[in-house]
Structure formats: structure tokens, C-alpha cells
Amino acid sequence: MADLRINLAGIQSPNPFWLASAPPTNSGYQVQRAFEAGWGGAVWKTLGEPIINVSSRFAGLTFGGQRVFGFNNIELITDKPLDVNLKEMDETKKRFPKHTLIASLMVEHKQEAWHEIVKKVEAIGVDGLELNFGCPHGMAERGMGSAVGQHPDLIRQQVEWVKEVAQTPVIVKLTPNITDIRFTARAASEGGADAISMINTINSLMGVDLDSWLPIPHVDGKGAHGGYCGPAVKPIALNMVAECARDPLVGVPISGIGGISNWRDAVEFLLMGATGVQVCTAAMHHGFRIVEDMIDGLNNYLDQRGIASVMDLVGKAVHTYSDWGHLNLNYKVVARINEETCINCNKCHIACEDTSHQCIDIVSDEATGKERLVVREEDCVGCNLCSIVCPVDGAIDMVEIPSDLLPLSWNQRQAALAAKGEQ
């Protein structure tokens, strides 16, 4: 069995699977049940001044028959007094001393407020702090959450305030509701953050009821934007993790969040630079015991590849992720159709003919009169669309065509043209 233990900026955890700060970590009862199920850690639902929540709060998106493909949430931070949360956190940590317990914090933009809550929380023995600069709704209107997380200067300042008194590692949770998350990640690092976590939820309106014309969800006839999460946001989250992981000006460990539903998703985040992952929507959909499959799947994957420790995965694919200008213009792949597997549904032909490069022909066999699909490889640009829409795995392969040309990127091409012009 591989070693699944992780070390995130000095925070030790028995495995990389944590519950994110959200409804599943709202109480000691829940977090203790999660630890019993096998979760390595949990980020407690955000502490601060207790708020009043509304009813209703959640909405789910069903897509292609998959329920909870996307999830919308207008619930806010804890609605329990701080002393109640601290008592339950203390009990949980004492009962599960080897599991990771992180306190998520959000207070008003005052140095003394941050100092006060940090001291109170650390007194009960948490393993680390997560500063919530990502919540996109409700709290943002009060000058907290993403209202801070969209301004690098405010992030830097508030992290500095926390680091003045913090005795445990400080993680900064970043909002995706920003043009370039690297700038806020850099600010967190400059302020002294030991790690960053991303992404928090994305501003969203889940839908409009076509009978009542009311937003989904609505509260007594009115709706508000909420936070979007679930499998649908994974590509956005994975990109942001990778961008920060390859940015030398960030330079701190990352806790990956966003659409992680199984061990495969987790491995992708680890390879792209996350040291561990946080899960919310999948647990809300399927319950805490999904972590059993995550642990088994990760163990099997590591064993099959002969990898001794999960930490050996962290960041191993980051070097493959770059900017468009560095891609090889002379690399070429084409589509090839496997006639033995093809079911002649013609979806590839329709997609290519209507919306791509018109390089798939329907050809009649003179001997049998049957039609078959043939790719004109000289006209194929290797866009992958045909293989994406094909309903049969293995019916269309994307095959590399060897080239006598040396690799040449757009940036190299422009540099060569500029040098030639100077001569």
C-alpha cells in the first residue's frame, strides 16, 4: 500500500482528502462522522459573527441525465455562536487527534478582529487556519468574502494581520470571480500565507422557473446570485490551480478545490500542483462514504505505477502546462476511423461538415453498396471534434503524423522573423 500521508505547508494529514468548508462541516457531529468514514481532514464551516440564513438555499443542475452536475448555494457562513463552534471543534480534535482540523475564518476588515478570532481558535488546538476570501454572496455585500478576495492589497494586508499572531499555518482561500487569480495568489504569498486554497464558488444564477418566472432558488419571490460548484466547475478550478502552481511569484503549496468527485479528479489536481484536495458537492450528493472509493482508487493507482507516496505525484505535470505561444506549430494529428468499431451513426460527419473543416466523406463501397466514413487526412486539422462527439469509445483515434520539420512555436517564429528583419 502506498503512503497517502500529505504535508501541506507543515500541516500533516493521514490522506489528501479533506472536506471543504461548507454545509458538510457545519457541526462536530458531521465532522466526526466524516473522520470515521475515512476523510483525512476537514475545514470547519466558516467562523465569524453568526448570521441568519434564508430558505430555500440550494439548487442543482441536471445535465445529460447526471444529477447535481452543477450546484448552486446561497447559504452563508456559520449561524452558530463562536463559543458553540469552538466547543464542538475542541471535542472533535480530542476525539480524532491524528486527523486534520482546519478553522475557516471570516471577520470584518479590522486588525483587532482578526487577532481576536485567531487567538480564540488556535487556543483549542486546530492544525491550521483558512482565511475565507472567496464567498461570493451575502458576505461580500458586507465587505467580506470575495469583496476582499478581488483586491490584492486587501488580501495582503489582512494576511499580514493574521500572521502577526498566528501560531499555526495560514491558508488563504481565493475567489475565482476575478480576471486573473495569480495576482491575488501572489498577494497572499507576499502577505506571508503558508498556502493557498482554490477555488471558492463561482457567481451564478442556476435558472429561471418557466412557469412562475422566478429565479431558482427563490426566497419568497426573489432570488440572488449564489456560488456555483460541482463537477461542472472542475476544468475552471484545475486551470487556476495549474496557473498558480507554475507561477514562481506564488511559490506556496496549494489545496485544490472545485468539482472533485472521485480519485481520478484528485490525481489530476495533484499532478497539476495541488498538495491535497477539498471536496464538498460530491459528499453532499453521495454522502461521506464516497471517500472509501477515493482512498481505494488512489491506492490502486499508486501501486500500479510503482509510486511509493502520494506526495510524489504533486506537481509532476505542471511543466507540461504552458501558454499558447509555446505550443509546437509543426505538430500534427489526424482522425482515423476504425471501421470495425464504427456504428455509422454519422455524428462525426455531421459535426465536421457543419461546424468544423469538412474533411470526413461518406463513401459508397462499389462492391457491397454500403456506405462508410473516410477522413481526408490532408485536410484534417486534428481538432478532435469528431472523436469528442463519437458515441463509441475507440471508433475514432487521433493519430500523430510524423514530420520532418523541427518543433517551432509561435513565439520562436516571431522571434526569428524579428531577427531576420533586424538583419
- For residues 248-260, one letter each, b for 16 or more C-beta atoms within 10 angstroms of the residue's C-beta and e for the rest, the string is eebebbbbbbbbb
Enter the C-alpha cell of residue 192: 506571508
DSSP string, 323-369: -GGGSBTT--EEEEE-TTT-----HHHHHHHHHS---EEEEE-TTT-
The DSSP call for residue 139 is S
State the pairing for strand pair 333-337/396-400: antiparallel
Rounded alpha-carbon distances, angstroms, from residue 263 to 15, 76, 168, 288, 297: 12, 28, 29, 14, 6
Q: Which listed residue (135, 244, 280, 380) is catalytic?
A: 135
Q: Taking a C-beta distance cutoff of 8 angstroms, is the pair 106, 77 a contact?
A: yes
- Judged on CB neighbours under 10 Å (0-12, 13-18, 19+), 385 is middle
Q: Are 399 and 336 in contact (CB under 8 A)?
A: yes
Which backbone phi and psi does 51 adopt, to 5 degrees?
-115, 175
CA–CA separation, 67 and 46 (whole Å): 27
In 58-117, DSSP assigns E strands to: 58-63, 66-73, 100-105
Contact (CB, 8 A) for 285 and 234 = no
390 is catalytic: no
Distances in Å between the Cα of 244 and the Cα atoms of 187, 250, 253, 276 are: 12, 6, 9, 15
**Nearest C-alpha neighbor of 89 from the set 150, 135, 28:** 28
- Which distant-in-sequence residues (6+ apart) come within 8 Å of 285 by Cβ? 67, 68
Main-chain phi, psi angles of 411, to 5 degrees: -65, -40
Residues 196 and 185: their CA atoms lie apart, in Å, by 7
Number of Cα atoms under 13 Å in the Cβ half of residue 378: 0
Active site positions, annotated? 135
